[in-house]
A and B are shown apart, each in its own frame.
Chain A
């Protein structure tokens, strides 16, 4: 029984399986197979965005969501964009061209609606009057890791 030799590389959140012939065979190569995996941000970026979130919450007199899972997910989304784009682009929007949006800056966190009107669509920074607002302006790395693990487990 022949076995397929494969080598993989991981680039930009995508696993690449380069085509590779079966040993001993003399027919055309298999075509490339690409699998898109769910991306996880680096711990360093998560820590940076965690500290930023705490600092900005204090500065803007806003509070984290009563469900810290929401806060955790958004922080991870900001971290993931920081890893891939170099800036924490809002993870609760869809973009045609993310690099252009980063350069333009409107949706870089803290976004313009938040800076001007304290409107955070992601529910990361909530004013005290908001129904979902908690009374905390801090969140630990452990809370972030635990909360996001729960969401990932639920979605699997």
Chain B
């Protein structure tokens, strides 16, 4: 017997790769343990509903009290995003300005500007600040957004990239943020 669980969106450095992309779209994974191995007190409002057949056997949808169905944006600090969480969070930001720091692990200028980026996130409480590690895992998103120079800052509004700042140029970044948030 297989169960479906919802997973909260991850904002950690590492992420689990699900080999079942359709499950990620629906934010479910399949737990293939027999029902007898799972304590029923852990789950409430279990309903038997056929969602789809991934493996042989029935699939049951179960809700967990620890999950969130809609991503929530945070202001006043920086949110680490990845290729799976970025666009949902941008969408959740609505008409707020979103500033994304695209960095790599061993980029020196990225380390210089990182504390300043934190200060900006604390100063501009009406702007959503995010950072993306442009590693192998997030390469598809980095390619989609477009990046050559590291760091690159992308400023988004209403789900679209409206401005870009290449390099660790704090003054340019502040000026760009001021222009977009006042527009």
Which stretch of B17-25, B43-51, B64-72, B157-165 is in the interface? B17-25
Question: Which among A65, A93, A124 is the interface contact of B148 at CB below 8 angstroms?
Answer: A93
In the complex with contacts A73-B106, A91-B106, A94-B142, A36-B136 CB distance below 8 A: yes
Bound together, the chains give a CA A96 to CA B15 distance in angstroms of 22
With a cutoff of 8 Å between Cβ atoms, the chain B residues found around residue A154 in the complex are 114
A70 at the interface (CB under 8 A from B): yes
Bound together, the chains give a CA A67 to CA B110 distance in angstroms of 13
In the complex with contacts A31-B19, A94-B134, A74-B108 CB distance below 8 A: yes
Distance in Å: Cβ of B56 to nearest Cβ of chain A:
8
Bound together, the chains give a CA A27 to CA B57 distance in angstroms of 10
Q: How many residues of A contact B (CB 8 A)?
A: 38
Please name 7 pairs of A and B residues whose Cβ atoms are closer than 8 Å in the assembled complex, sorted by A: A36-B135, A36-B136, A76-B106, A93-B149, A94-B102, A94-B134, A94-B147
Residue pair B17, A33 in contact (C-beta under 8 Å): yes
Residue pair B167, A121 in contact (C-beta under 8 Å): yes
Question: Which among B34, B56, B105, B150 is the interface contact of A93 at CB below 8 angstroms?
Answer: B150
With a cutoff of 8 Å between Cβ atoms, the chain A residues found around residue B111 in the complex are 69-70, 73, 151
What interface size band does chain B fall in? 35 or more
B16 at the interface (CB under 8 A from A): yes
A38 at the interface (CB under 8 A from B): yes
Question: Which among A32, A33, A77, A121 is the interface contact of B106 at CB below 8 angstroms?
Answer: A77
B32 at the interface (CB under 8 A from A): yes
Besides A77-B106, A123-B112, 12 new A-B residue pairs in contact (Cβ under 8 A), listed by A number: A27-B32, A32-B17, A32-B19, A33-B16, A36-B14, A36-B136, A70-B111, A73-B106, A73-B108, A76-B106, A94-B142, A94-B147
B107 at the interface (CB under 8 A from A): yes
Residue pair B108, A65 in contact (C-beta under 8 Å): yes
Residue pair B20, A31 in contact (C-beta under 8 Å): yes
B104 at the interface (CB under 8 A from A): yes
